[in-house]
Structure 1
Amino acid sequence: MVDKLDAALRFQQEALNLRARRQEVLSSNIAHADTPGYKARDFDFSSSLSQAMAQGRQAQSVSMNTTSARHIQGEASISNDPDLLYRVPTQSSIDGNTVEMDVERVNFTDNAVHYESGLTIIGAQIKSLLSAVQQ
């Protein structure tokens, strides 16, 4: 039963996680608008979402090799961060900064609107599932 609930909400969960990550990247670009030599970053949302959905919820972890029984076992999980790409500027800057504030503001706002709509959709899905369970 829990697997079915997870599967029902998984797409929106992955989409919201990627939207939140993209918002962080765009915020970083805006924050570094006056930093000489800073290169604006972004990622393709649709290809990252399809890649995240194809990979599934497989737990990927890396464990450390030990050479002695007295060593502490270490383990880390591999994050599924999207591949960050450098943005190609339409107008170059003298100081080498590739952040274009108009482009960043538009992308930031567009991403925020999509994030809000994702929250609305997942809220409606949860209400629908709750209604089905209660009846």
Structure 2
Amino acid sequence: MKLFSNTFQTLEQGLDYSALKQKTISQNIANVDTPNYKAKDVSFKNAFQQAVQSSMRANRTDPRHYEFTSSSSSNSVIIRKNNSYQHNGNGVDIDHEMSELAENQIYYQALADRLNGKFNSLKTVIGGGR
């Protein structure tokens, strides 16, 4: 018997994605003046495929049906190669990174608030509705 729904696992995976994105944005901002540094980004598509593969299973009712597998790589961090914003070959646009940072912080906070709400609901149920 499964005690909890997949909501906790999905929220956890969302928080993991957001933490990885925060780390890459922080690295980009820290290297804004580093010559020939190329900005990095986190691919949501790869992170989403990993989350789907780990939490969703397809039930094949016939051996002729296709398997639901994908060959996505485990590394979700990609390098943006074609951008050069400074004369020293640096590929970090500080305005873009700051807006990505603000967006990611809002996303992380929304996930954390939702997870907190789920735990409060469990606490209410355990306490008998009080």
Q: TM-score, normalised by structure 1?
A: 0.71
Cα distance between partner residues in 2 of 1:92 and 1:31? 15
Shift in Å, 1:48: 3.5
1:23 aligns with 2:22: yes
Tell me the equivalent position of 1:54: 52
- In structure 1, how many angstroms separate the alpha carbons of the residues matched to 2:89 and 2:41? 17
Paired AA for residue 33 in structure 1: V
* Alignment of structure 1 residues 39-118 onto 2, 5 Å: 39-45=38-44, 47-56=45-54, 82-87=75-80, 88-89=82-83, 92-118=85-111
**Could you list the runs of 5+ residues in structure 1 that have no partner in the other structure?**
58-79
Using the aligned pairs only, state the percent identity: 25
The count of residues paired between Structure 1 and Structure 2 equals: 110
The match for 2:120 is 127
Distance 1:32 1:118, change over 3 A: same
Measured in 1, the distance between the counterparts of 2:119 and 2:74 equals: 26
Q: Report the Cα distance in structure 2 between the residues aligned to 1:52 and 1:116, rounded to whole angstroms.
A: 22
SS of structure 2 residue aligned to 1:42: strand
> Does 2:10 match 1:11?
yes
Secondary structure of residue in 1 paired with 2:3 = helix
Aligned CA distance change for structure 1 residues 126 and 81 (closer, same or farther; 3 Å): farther
Q: Per-residue deviation at 1:55?
A: 2.6
SS at match of 2:100: helix
In the alignment, residue 49 of structure 2 is paired with which amino acid?
Q
Q: Match of 1:85, SS?
A: strand
Kept after mapping to 1: 8 A contact 2:15/2:111? yes
